[in-house]
Amino acid sequence: MATKTKTPVSGQYKPVGCKAEITLIKGKTVPPTPKGATTFVLVDKTKHGK
């Protein structure tokens, strides 16, 4: 997933080439990064318990 797109699934994402993880919420726009266009990879999908 690249920046300026909507997040397909809520969860923890890791920008490619970085060790940090960020939380993104389904349907929200991916925030801009200092390096411009960045690809994010889903690391851990949010689990919704009932």
CB 34 within 8 A of CB 9: no
pLDDT digits (tens, 9 = 90+) for 10-42: 999 998 888 889 999 999 998 877 777 678 899
| CA–CA distance, 48 with 46 (Å, rounded to integer) | 6
- Burial of residue 24 (number of CB atoms within 10 Å: 0-12, 13-18, 19+): buried
| CA–CA distance, 1 with 48 (Å, rounded to integer) | 22
Rounded to two decimals, the pTM is 0.76
| Structure confidence at residue 31 (pLDDT) | 81
pLDDT surpasses 60 at 3: no
